[in-house]
């Protein structure tokens, strides 16, 4: 089948490269000329481990092409994936302007029977809106499909190539057959393709992300309570995570969730619920708890150092999670703003997100080429992102470089008894008791 993917952002690039990897001819189309020019030279606009190899290999072997000619890409397709952005509006709802603009182009330029797949994260009812727009212009039959993505940034290639499950909402046997054929190489180990109606597929994506966000906020609030009552959240996490009904995933406390999915999707689902007069009170609290949690590292630092005016603070980790350069809704941004507002100087390091930080923060902070380079003369170190290279550092080197041996660990990377024995003033998340 000839595959066209419209949108070369995070989702579109992963989808296009992975489908090409299994032998499909794929065209990725985008109106951004600079982005397409870069991709044609194997220069990716995002950092995702392994994706550059997939793009380069499939381009060189002729299975993957990039173009700005969206109409031509549509005209040759048997299946079109819509993977353009759906940023949140001011009221939290998903902005569908780009999705519906693509729908109009599909209707105008399709030249054969077509399967149209919404791959962008979109509210329930979006596929119906897309179909209505396409039908105004279409001269050929088409079939709608919702195929939500469940890709973790930093592990997207493995998630796509070896999925836990593939969720597909369809409106016809034709769409079901085409999508089953397309995804057959990815589920050979027996993982399920779950076919369902389109509204259920659209809801599944939001419900999954909302559940994961809820687990994170719940554990962060438990961690905050642990500090007050003298419990150790690491022990509590292991205790509840061993319950088969709960499981261990997404129970690690930290400085709050960020990224391109959880914040946006929780807001959009809450907004959809309000429009339907079905308030999601739990998710409203999840949002509130996450907003508060993003200030915890600043509060802990202030508890240790007091007045932060004129203080130099080293920050390790800028991306919202490791193995990505994504800083959307990152806790580091909240921390940096709070530190600067308090009159502190910030020196930061991140293995891959430095350029993104410069784009977002500019020259308001200092950027260190290495993690140890950020420490010289600093009054404290704050760890925001749990990159592997931060997990086992040279503690003697850290202590010698810091003006004050203060470490605020937002990811609970270190043993607090060891840190105390080494002479550090050490603060972490939710560890108030003894192991």
Where in the sequence numbering do the catalytic residues fall? 261
Query: Quick one: three-class SS letters along 369-426?
Result: CCCHHHCCCCCEEEECCCCHHHCCCCHHHHHHHCCCCEEEECCCCCCHHHHHHCCCEE
> What are the helix (H) ranges across 88-197?
97-109, 126-135, 156-161, 173-183
Asked if 140 and 109 touch (Cβ cutoff 8 Å), the reply is no
For the record, the structure tokens of 315 come out as 């920050």
Smallest CA-to-CA distance from 147 within 129, 122, 164 is with 122
Give the end-to-end CA distance of the chain in Å, rounded to a whole number.
57
Using CA atoms, how far residue 305 sits from 177, 296, 366, in Å, is 63, 14, 20
Q: Report how far residue 170's alpha carbon sits from residue 198's, in angstroms, rounded to the nearest whole number.
A: 6
Q: Report how far residue 290's alpha carbon sits from residue 338's, in angstroms, rounded to the nearest whole number.
A: 16
Q: How many CB atoms lie within 10 A of CB 141?
A: 11
> What are the helix (H) ranges across 22-155?
33-40, 51-60, 70-75, 97-109, 126-135
Q: Report how far residue 247's alpha carbon sits from residue 239's, in angstroms, rounded to the nearest whole number.
A: 10
């Amino acid at each position: 089948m000839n595959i066209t993917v419209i949108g070369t952002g995070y989702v579109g690039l992963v989808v296009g490269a992975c489908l090409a990897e299994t032998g499909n001819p794929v065209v990725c189309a985008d109106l951004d000329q600079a982005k397409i020019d870069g991709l044609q030279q194997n220069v990716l606009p995002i950092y995702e481990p392994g994706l550059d190899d997939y793009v380069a290999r499939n381009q060189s072997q002729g299975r993957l092409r990039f173009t700005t000619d969206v109409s031509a890409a549509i005209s040759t397709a048997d299946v079109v994936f819509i993977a353009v952005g759906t940023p949140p509006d001011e009221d939290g709802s998903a902005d569908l302007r780009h999705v519906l603009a693509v729908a109009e182009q599909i209707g105008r330029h399709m030249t054969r029977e077509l399967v149209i797949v919404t791959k962008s994260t979109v509210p329930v009812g979006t596929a119906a809106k897309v179909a209505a727009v396409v039908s105004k212009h279409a001269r050929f039959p088409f079939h709608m499909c919702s195929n939500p993505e469940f890709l973790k940034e930093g592990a997207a290639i493995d998630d796509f190539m070896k999925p836990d499950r593939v969720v597909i909402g369809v409106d016809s046997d034709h769409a079901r057959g085409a999508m089953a054929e397309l995804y057959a190489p990815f589920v050979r180990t027996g993982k399920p393709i779950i076919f369902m109606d389109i509204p259920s597929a659209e809801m599944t994506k939001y419900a999954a992300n909302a559940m994961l966000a809820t687990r994170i906020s719940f554990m962060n609030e438990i961690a905050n309570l642990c500090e007050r009552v003298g419990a150790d959240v690491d022990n509590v996490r292991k205790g509840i995570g061993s319950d088969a009904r709960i499981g261990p995933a997404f129970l690690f406390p930290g400085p709050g969730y960020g990224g391109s999915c959880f914040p946006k999707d929780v807001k959009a689902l809450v907004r959809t619920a309000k429009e339907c007069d079905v308030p999601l009170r739990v998710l409203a609290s999840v949002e509130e708890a996450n907003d508060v949690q993003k200030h915890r590292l600043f509060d802990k630092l202030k508890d240790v150092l007091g007045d932060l005016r004129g203080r130099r603070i080293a920050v390790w980790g800028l991306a919202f999670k490791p193995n990505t350069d994504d800083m959307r809704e990152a806790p580091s941004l909240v921390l940096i703003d709070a530190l600067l507002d308090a009159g502190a100087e910030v020196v930061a390091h991140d293995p891959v997100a430095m350029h993104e930080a410069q784009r977002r923060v500019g020259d308001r902070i200092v950027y260190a080429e290495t993690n140890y380079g950020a420490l010289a003369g600093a009054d404290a170190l704050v760890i925001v992102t749990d990159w592997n290279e931060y997990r086992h550092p040279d503690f003697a080197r850290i202590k010698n470089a810091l003006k004050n041996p203060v470490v605020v660990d937002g990811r609970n990377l270190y043993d607090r008894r060891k840190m105390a024995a080494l002479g550090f003033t050490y603060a972490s998340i939710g560890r108030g008791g003894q192991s």
